[in-house]
Structure 1
Amino acid sequence: MLMKGRVPDPQFERMLQGYGVTTAEVLYRMPDHPALLQTFSWQFDDIAPDYPRLKRFLDYWEREIEAMIQSVRVMHRGLISPQEVRLVREAGHLQ
């Protein structure tokens, strides 16, 4: 329960919703230099294992960018996990 006048930190709320730091490494080839393999790296907040933000980005890439994606490597680290959230009680109130 929130105290009157207190607003929860939006970043903390996102952590509780399952967001974590995601890094995507995209290997791609441009049509005018097909022998050259290039890299694009991007770090952002997303939700594993569905990665909705990454999927929107890759859909955009497919529609709007001429480069052909060779591969995508994804690394994800949750900022908070269920075992890290614990109820803290005073010693006198433990059951």
Structure 2
Amino acid sequence: MSDRALAAQLEGYRLTTAEVHYYRPDAPSLLQLFVWQDYDLAPDFPVLLDFLDHWRREIAAALHSVRVAHPQLIGPAEWCAASDIFSIR
């Protein structure tokens, strides 16, 4: 693990994966898939939004859709231990 990755995780960043579907500039009827991964913060995803802004400005391919996977979005539900138990009869 790199120092950058460790520092990001200590600040609350988690590995985020995005499937970016876009129209091919040379064949606009075809969709292409690009997979992007970086450390990001849910639920705002500032790093992903910066990447998508860059895509819109600098890349000729028009975006179709983006699907995001992040540990906070797909992880198990949070739980806490009960301090009291009540019996209903």
TM-score above 0.5: yes
Aligned mates of 1:31, 1:14 — CA distance in 2: 35
Larger CA Rg, structure 1 vs 2: 1
Counterpart for residue 35 of structure 2 = 41
Report the RMSD for the aligned CA atoms in angstroms: 1.9
Indicate the percent of aligned positions where both proteins have the same amino acid.
54
Contact 1:22/1:44 (<8 A) preserved: yes
Aligned mates of 1:18, 1:55 — CA distance in 2: 17
Aligned mates of 1:58, 1:38 — CA distance in 2: 16
Aligned mates of 1:62, 1:14 — CA distance in 2: 26
Unmatched 5+ residue regions in structure 2? 73-77, 79-89
> Among residues 15, 18, 21, which one is paired with 1:24 in the alignment?
18
Q: Which has the higher strand share?
A: 1
